[in-house]
Amino acid sequence: MKANEIRKTFLEYFKKNGHTIVPSSSLVPKGDPTLLFTNAGMVQFKGVFLGEEKRDYKRAVSVQKCMRAGGKHNDLENVGRTARHHTFFEMLGNFSFGDYFKEEAITFAWEFITKEIGFDPKDLWVTVFQEDNEAAGIWVENTGISKERIVRMGEKDNFWAMGDVGPCGPCSEIIIDQGKDIGCGRSTCAVGCDCDRFLEIWNLVFMQHNKNLKGKLSPLPKPSIDTGMGLERLAAIMQGKQSNYESDLFAPIINFIEEVSGKSYDELETNDISIKAIADHSRAVTFLITDGILPGNEGRGYVLRRILRRASRYGKLLGINEPFLYKVCGKVIECLGAAYPEIIAARDSIIKVTEGEESRFLETLERGLNILDEEIKTLKQKNKRVIPGNVAFKLYDTYGFPLDLTSDIIRTQGFTVDEEGFNTEMEEQRFKARGAWKGSGEIKTHEIYGKLVNSGIKTNFVGYYTDVTSSKILCLIKDGNIVDKASQGDNIEVITEQTPFYGESGGQVGDIGSIIGKGFELTVVDTKKPLPDLIVHHSTVKEGSVSTGGTVELIPDLNVRKATSRHHTAAHLLHAALRNILGEHVRQAGSLVGPTRIRFDFSHFSAISEKELYKIEHMVNEKIMENLEVNTDTLSYKDAVAKGALAFFDEKYGDTVKMTSVEGFSRELCGGIHVKRTGDIGLVRILSDSSVAAGVRRIEAVAGTAALKAVEEERDVIKEASLILKASPRDVPEKINKLILQHKTLEKEMENLKAKLKSGDALSILEQVKTVKGIKVVCYEVEAERPDDLRQLADLLRAKINSGIVVLGSKTNGKAFILAAITKDLSGRFNAGSIIKELAPAIGGKGGGKPDMAQAGGDNPAGLKAAMEKIYAIVEKTQN
Ligand SMILES: [Zn+2]
Ligand SMILES: [Zn+2]
């Protein structure tokens, strides 16, 4: 069975059994600051398991894109060296949210494995948690597997927990015995052996407890099921391959790498490591970029960079000296595009980002490798085996070698890196990146929200239909604690049954306004939406005191909200125009929509020309003038995507979604507040376009009143300029051009005048020439700012006197300069260099130069006159 059929069979089997097929979520987990990447099928359902979120279904099935790299479980260094380690992989899973439990989970799994995909029961084993008699009993009763084939395992292997607190429970695994030939052959070889004979293929998690902070378990009211089965492993087993890399998921990619490198797989172990690592990494790179991650120096971007550079270096080991990985990514798109159409849509980005990063790294790779070679040679002579931290850091900082890449390169030679030393060097670098990654501080407050939702508290958002409403206060939070009452001056969070206040989400800022009750008034400074069903008003008590349970009027500032909605719809128009003018590869990479501006980040790989920018702005304003209808509909995610709505990587979408369309021009999944018709926006002005990261550009723009203000300001500037220039606004540019030309001409004339002035100086100096023993000597102190001026003047004087010696001096800023020059005809008799050596000490300096011109500088201006006048004595002396 091919991998494509396995995916399909799995989804169809569970659909047949009442499960809803849920598309894979992004590799970037939404709203979970604790997790770098989606690493299991249950991640997108975490909120559902915790009771914080509701879905229309209680049974789900999915094929989930997963990443394991970076963070605690860092498998990266093993990838390529083994048959089964991957960074990117796909996980098949079925889920029950308080619906069926152990019995059905076990029955479904067994039926799927033995009937649907035809494994022979006599090759199968199962494990259960040591205390889970219930599961062991069900296995025997419902599947007919013999008791001897059920192995009881401890907490380490067969007990799963979502975290330190929360849902947890025992697991049960299905294991396949691949036969003696494949195993290690040891007499002790059995289930649990680390060889390849007994392979775990499917893990069933029975969530039945809730763990509290003290570690105490209590039964969950609605036990749930979470299962996971790795597609790569399953495909390999079903296709009779002993390595995941030989399954049809990898074979075409590996063939392609063979083609590009001219090296064959399965000939030389070192080449195999490189080929497997490249095959794995190209998949990871393809999917990470698709989900909006770009190579960078922190967080997810740094994981991508490490993977990409590791692959690049393995390419070099295969003898490839130019960017090639982007081509392999092209092959990945070809192989997996049918199952994940989003990688086809992101093709341009994938190719450009990958090739760019490869090219940059190749520039430094060679030099970095040389440095490492040298270091290893030196260390070997000293009989040492540890690369010092500062060397590893230099490789990291200057040559772009991630630490694990350095470790990877040197490990075959038996070397390690002084990681502690590296970390010390890194500390300062990290400092500036700190704060970019959300820490655990946020998690505690988040827990309160989770508890509230679990206890049935939620907010109904009515802002789509009404501007102002009255409602009941459900909860007050002060300093992270739930309180009953708050009084004047307190900063609190207020949760009401319903609200017209929009909670910050989808890039739109939260509403501000006031909440008024009997005898009190609150000023709402911001509104947040920490969980899908919870809206929190961040407020200050302006007057009186407020208590839980009271009835209030919720009044958002409608002017601010109107201004925000103009900017929000304008952002959608801008997005559509960008895709229209620049191409379909443009993808929103983040946006901020507020009452005064739009900040819109998107993927694009070159600068935007003035002409393009003009076209984009023009198109947006045209759509505004067409006064198109703006509609927001609620429909299923599937239908929305089928209708061509743009969905974004970092948003988590439920079963039903909101889709905002601008008649015939734009369709996006968006739950924000919009204007009714595009004409309401009035006007849009693009203020700036800049680059924020490799492949990401930012446009800032304004709409409505803010745009009008921008236009008025521009007009004022031009008006002022025209007044100053005494020209009509239309003639301003020409007038400025004229002025610039005039300025240039004037500058030239001034230079000429200066030169003339100098020769004038020279003439007056010449009047004071002395003749010493028949030789003309010019000795003169001038005002000169730079030694260069002295040189020019000396040249001039030399030319005027024909034959003789020139000594010039000057003082500026506590320093003295002195220069001696002689004419050519005297070169046999005098040497400027020797002369200057005799003059210089009197100004406290040293000097030198050529035989015909030399100079000195010193910091004793007081001695300048004496120094210069020594020339007469020198000439006298030489003449004798
Ligand atoms: Zn074994
Ligand atoms: Zn939107």
Ligand 2 centroid – CA 505 distance (Å): 9
Q: What are the pLDDT digits (tens) for 409-429?
A: 888 888 999 988 888 777 755
Starting from the CA of residue 196, give the closest ligand.
1
State the Cα–Cα distance between residues 698 and 703, nearest whole angstrom. 16
pLDDT classification of 54: cutoffs 50, 70, 90: confident
Starting from the CA of residue 660, give the closest ligand.
2
pLDDT classification of 570: cutoffs 50, 70, 90: very high
pTM of the model: 0.60
For the residues 698-720, what does the mean pLDDT come to?
93
For the residues 525-554, what does the mean pLDDT come to?
92
Q: What are the pLDDT digits (tens) for 661-687?
A: 999 899 988 889 999 999 999 999 999
Q: Examine the pLDDT at 843 and tell me if it is beyond 70.
A: yes
Spatial contact of 229 and 258, defined as CB atoms under 8 Å apart: no
- Region of 378 please: left (phi>0), alpha (psi -120 to 50) or beta: alpha
DSSP-assigned letter for residue 618: H
Q: Examine the pLDDT at 736 and tell me if it is beyond 80.
A: yes
pLDDT for position 445: 59
pLDDT for position 246: 95
Q: In 629-703, where does DSSP find H-type helix?
A: 637-642
Ligand 2 centroid – CA 677 distance (Å): 15
For the residues 760-778, what does the mean pLDDT come to?
83
Q: Which of 173, 227, 206, 172 is nearest to 10 (CA)?
A: 227
Q: What are the pLDDT digits (tens) for 358-386?
A: 998 998 888 899 889 999 999 999 888 89
Ligand 2 centroid – CA 668 distance (Å): 7
pLDDT for position 432: 40
For the residues 236-254, what does the mean pLDDT come to?
95
State the Cα–Cα distance between residues 560 and 513, nearest whole angstrom. 9
pLDDT for position 24: 94
For the residues 219-241, what does the mean pLDDT come to?
94
304 burial level (CB within 10 Å; 0-12, 13-18, 19+): buried
pLDDT for position 247: 96
Q: What are the pLDDT digits (tens) for 815-834?
A: 899 999 999 998 888 999 99
pLDDT for position 587: 80
**Whole-number average pLDDT of the chain:** 88
**CA angle, 482 then 652 then 473, to 5°:** 25
Spatial contact of 836 and 830, defined as CB atoms under 8 Å apart: no
State the Cα–Cα distance between residues 625 and 613, nearest whole angstrom. 19
pLDDT for position 293: 87
State the Cα–Cα distance between residues 686 and 689, nearest whole angstrom. 8
Least confident range of 342-346, 754-758, 826-830: 754-758
Starting from the CA of residue 179, give the closest ligand.
1
Starting from the CA of residue 198, give the closest ligand.
1
The 3 state secondary structure assigned to 279-344 is HHHHHHHHHHHHCCCCCCCCHHHHHHHHHHHHHHHHHHHCCCCCCCHHHHHHHHHHHHCCCCHHHH
Q: What are the pLDDT digits (tens) for 95-143?
A: 999 999 999 999 999 999 999 999 999 999 999 999 999 999 999 999 9
Encoding tokens for residue 193? Answer: 């052996």
Ligand 2 centroid – CA 573 distance (Å): 10
Q: Examine the pLDDT at 440 and tell me if it is beyond 80.
A: no
More confident of the two residues 790 and 565? 565
Q: Examine the pLDDT at 434 and tell me if it is beyond 50.
A: no
Partners of 845 in beta bridges: 858
Q: What are the pLDDT digits (tens) for 633-652?
A: 888 877 777 777 776 544 45
For the residues 232-249, what does the mean pLDDT come to?
95
Tallying the residues shown for the chain, one arrives at 880
Ligand 1 centroid – CA 192 distance (Å): 8
Ligand 2 centroid – CA 124 distance (Å): 51
Q: What are the pLDDT digits (tens) for 586-643?
A: 888 888 899 999 999 988 877 899 999 999 999 999 999 999 999 988 888 777 777 7
pLDDT for position 443: 46
Ligand 1 centroid – CA 178 distance (Å): 11
Q: Examine the pLDDT at 441 and tell me if it is beyond 60.
A: no
For the residues 556-584, what does the mean pLDDT come to?
93
Starting from the CA of residue 194, give the closest ligand.
1
Q: Is the dihedral of CA 60, 446, 440, 213 positive or negative?
A: negative
Ligand 1 centroid – CA 183 distance (Å): 5
Starting from the CA of residue 197, give the closest ligand.
1
pLDDT for position 439: 35
For the residues 438-465, what does the mean pLDDT come to?
72
Most confident of 40-44, 201-205, 389-393: 201-205
pLDDT for position 639: 79
pLDDT for position 414: 87
Q: What are the pLDDT digits (tens) for 505-517?
A: 888 999 999 999 9
* Residue whose entry in the numeric block shows the structure tokens 């130019």: 322
pLDDT for position 33: 59
CA dist list (Å): 540 to 239, 273, 521, 522: 65, 61, 9, 6
pLDDT for position 438: 34
Q: Examine the pLDDT at 68 and tell me if it is beyond 50.
A: yes
State the Cα–Cα distance between residues 870 and 849, nearest whole angstrom. 18
pLDDT for position 654: 62
